[in-house]
Amino acid sequence: MTEFTAQDVIRPRWSPALRARAIRRFMLAGLIIMIGTGVAAVCLEIFGRSLSPLWLTVGIVLPSVLAFGALFVVFAITAHALLGRLLKRLAFVLFIGSLAGIVLTAWGASLLFGLVDRIVAARPDPIAQTIFGGELTTDEIVRFFAATPEDPKALEAPPALEFVAYLLWPWQFRLLRDLVLALVILGFVSVTASFAIWWERKVAGRIQSRLGPMRVGGWHGWAQGIADGLKLVQKEDIVPGRADGPVFRLAPYLVFIPVLTAFLALPFSDRWVLRDLEVGLVLVLGLLGIDVIGVILAGWASHNKWSMYGALRVAAQMVSYEIPMGMALLLPVMAAGTLRPGAIGALQSGGFHTWLAFCSPFLFAAAGVYFVASLAACKRAPFDLPEAESELTGGFHTEYSGFRWAVFFFGEYAAMFVVCGLAVLLFLGAWHSPLPASWGESLAGGSWWQRGLYALLFSGPAWFIAKTYALLFVHIWLRWTLPRIRIDQVMYACVQVMLPMTMLLLLGQMFWQLLVPPDGITARAANIVCTLAGAAIVAAFVGTAGWGYLNRRRLVGPLAVNHLPGS
């Protein structure tokens, strides 16, 4: 008895060998018919015989059409093969290109802006950079490059240098810099969303012993997110007849734009931040609060009872959970003594045990409370009642399709990244690795590869993104593990459990900071216990995952087993 394997099921019916054989046969048939018809026509011409219209049709016209048809089929098959490969390449280039583009643009931009800043600083009379005022002239840029120690006022420069000066000149304007960086952030959000869509479907598949997307793009269906996006953009643009048109059209953007704006104050590292505002945290929280309005208006404007129920649930749930979420955020703010995201991140550079979540038992509990509240604020399971498919068909986005629906989902994944990023920033060491940054001080000021090593080992945007993605994975994991809870349970959990708990935690942290000396034995012991608990949670997660991987053969269904990595 043979066993079905994944290869049997998903083997494409149209293999390259089959395609080549079909192309050869159709081409041969077309050529034979063409040559035969041509020879027949020439023979008729030579012997001076005329044909009746019937024989002309059957003998000459029909074979010609057939021959052209056969050659057209060959052309179509070839074009399909080429186009498919081209599209695959294109998707790959798009994905990798946008990823590399984002990183390179951010890096190049920081180098470029630093260079221009140095040119500005090198002027004899320093000037303030304005948003829109051109103060630095190209001659000064040329002089900056052409100047030598012997001749500090040299103006003789090759024409290429003059051209470079014109290229550098616009970058003294903040407006232009911000435009470039805003595009970088938009690109990052797009890549995150399209990656998270694929990841979500893949994780869901694994958890349910399915394969998930396997076809688009080849390797484990990695291009599924891009394909979904392209599909949604092509769909028909529908606004229901009785809907409140302008509000219906506006609502998705009210969800997406505030979340995008929240990246303004979200630091990826001490230098990779658009604006390190003094009130950055409050601003991010306020912007996250706005997208409730977009969701409510979407449900309201659809003029549909499912949408309406979804909107009511959103209003009740998100507004309630904002309170425990905001109050849980107050604890690390209290411990750090500032609302500036950069300063809070810089506090946690001393290694794993200095991450704020491990500094006191109250902060440790607050991290958990914040994470649960952030699940509810993003409308993620088990709090996904606003869009409960089984009861409300789609909740607030029942009537949406095409591009606007895609905008809702981009907004949701971007909001997930922002709330996870806030958790990482406030509780989990921001952009620092578990190793103390002081160990790498000799690397930090070294050559470029030493600085790169420092960014990879000790602190850098890569750590922030990696930790945020790890939390994003927990979001996805919980969604496919936990059942949805009822709306009364949602409200009970918020008002009667989490709200009193955060208040107690807030009071506890206050007394902790007032009464417990930071270098005393109590603080040290609490720090050690919390650090060990955190390490135990991480170890338990990694250990369970490893155990599951080693025992993957016990999973139900050969599909999943044969397609898990390493099998």
163 contacts other proteins (rule: CB under 8 A): yes
Taking the complex as a whole, the smallest distance from the CB of residue 399 to other proteins amounts, in Å, to: 12
Taking the complex as a whole, the smallest distance from the CB of residue 232 to other proteins amounts, in Å, to: 26
Contact in structure between 416 and 196 (CB atoms under 8 Å): yes
319 contacts other proteins (rule: CB under 8 A): yes
403 contacts other proteins (rule: CB under 8 A): no
Rounded to whole angstroms, the Cα distance separating 278 from 262 reads 14
Contact in structure between 204 and 560 (CB atoms under 8 Å): no
139 contacts other proteins (rule: CB under 8 A): yes
Which of 199, 300, 417, 427 binds other proteins (CB under 8 A)? It is 300
Rounded to whole angstroms, the Cα distance separating 485 from 379 reads 12
The contact mask relative to other proteins for 329-358 (x = CB under 8 A, - = no) is ----------x-------------------
132 contacts other proteins (rule: CB under 8 A): yes
Rounded to whole angstroms, the Cα distance separating 101 from 417 reads 20
User: Which CB, 311 or 392, lies closer to other proteins?
Assistant: 311
Q: Residue 459 pairs with which residues in a beta bridge?
A: 432
Contact in structure between 197 and 224 (CB atoms under 8 Å): yes
Three-class SS state of 401: coil
453 contacts other proteins (rule: CB under 8 A): no
Taking the complex as a whole, the smallest distance from the CB of residue 318 to other proteins amounts, in Å, to: 8
User: Which CB, 297 or 505, lies closer to other proteins?
Assistant: 297
In the DSSP assignment, the letter for residue 235 is S
97 Cβ contact partners less than 8 Å away, ≥ 6 residues apart: none
CB atoms within 10 A of CB 20: 12
In the DSSP assignment, the letter for residue 353 is G
User: Which CB, 188 or 300, lies closer to other proteins?
Assistant: 300
Number of chain residues interacting with other proteins (CB under 8 A): 46
Rounded to whole angstroms, the Cα distance separating 190 from 494 reads 32
CA-nearest of 147, 138, 140, 143 to 166 is 138
User: Which CB, 143 or 432, lies closer to other proteins?
Assistant: 143
Of the candidate spans 183-191, 201-209, 210-218, 301-309, the one that interacts with other proteins by CB under 8 A turns out to be: 301-309
266 contacts other proteins (rule: CB under 8 A): no
289 contacts other proteins (rule: CB under 8 A): yes
Distance set, CA 257 to CA 264, 290, 341 (Å): 11, 10, 21
561 contacts other proteins (rule: CB under 8 A): no
3-state secondary structure 358-393: HCCHHHHHHHHHHHHHHHHHCCCCCCCHHHCHHHHC
474 contacts other proteins (rule: CB under 8 A): no
Contact in structure between 250 and 300 (CB atoms under 8 Å): no
303 contacts other proteins (rule: CB under 8 A): yes
Which of 180, 293, 444, 487 binds other proteins (CB under 8 A)? It is 293
Three-class SS state of 432: strand
Which of 84, 133, 434, 546 binds other proteins (CB under 8 A)? It is 133
Which parts of this chain interact with other proteins (CB under 8 A)?
130-135, 137-139, 159-160, 162-163, 165-166, 169, 175, 244, 247, 250, 277-279, 282-283, 285-287, 289-290, 292-293, 296-297, 300-301, 303, 308, 311-312, 315-316, 319, 322, 326, 339
